[in-house]
Amino acid sequence: MAASRALKHINISPTRIPYSTGAALQDVLVKNYLDSKRIPDIVPRPVPTLLTMEFSPVYTFGRRQNDAESMQKIEQLKSMVPEAATAVTMRGGQTTFHGPGQLVAYPIIDLREFNLSSKCYVRMLEDTTIELLETFGLRAKTTENTGVWLSDAEKIASIGVHLRRYITSHGVAINATTDLSYFDQIVACGLPESRATSIKQAAPDEWERQMAAVKNPIHELGNRFADILRQKLDHQR
């Protein structure tokens, strides 16, 4: 494998950013990939890239949530949680929350370069998240519902992706020290019986042991996630 094709990691934290800023950066990277397919003689093929970020509070909605009921819910959230932004996205899935203390990881890659189907790609994101959580002594799993879970009712990471001409966008959100009360305002991912949890809540002693001396834990988590994902992608080539 040529070194120039190795996964590039852009870790935006420790600067907390608005969701709109992260989405705009993602859109530029996706457009570069699509342009390289449309006019390959002019636009070179981009390097596979992982964005890791920490957002200011925001509720995001899946691409199919553009009906009147969803629009009403957005207006309700604006009044109930005025400090949180709202955004309708192109990812799959339903309503979720992003905010401080949460690692957001968006890989922008061409699935064909790595011989991945969409199903295998989502499983790779799940497995990467599970391996990251194992470093804190947590035994996470997948269920029939999308995401990563500590039990059938405790969800610790959300997954929602979008594909266009095999180019990926959006990805994973992992609760580290997230204020979980933000999830009380929504039926996260359309599952009323589930509840959100976090690494710090599920493994407080191990979190403190590993992160007490770390200046920015979300930045550190982003680096760890990138290392695991890079190994998995390299294995696929």
Query: Catalytic positions, please?
Result: 189
CB distance 133 to 201 below 8 Å: no
Measure the CA–CA gap between 206 and 197, rounded to whole angstroms. 15
Q: Please, which residues bridge with residue 169 across strands?
A: 162
Written as six digits, the tokens of 52 are 């890791």
Measure the CA–CA gap between 99 and 104, rounded to whole angstroms. 9
Residue in the structure block whose two tokens are 């935006």: 12
Measure the CA–CA gap between 98 and 100, rounded to whole angstroms. 7
Q: Please, which residues bridge with residue 59 across strands?
A: 86, 97
User: Helix or strand or coil: residue 200?
Assistant: helix
Rg from Cα positions in the chain: 17
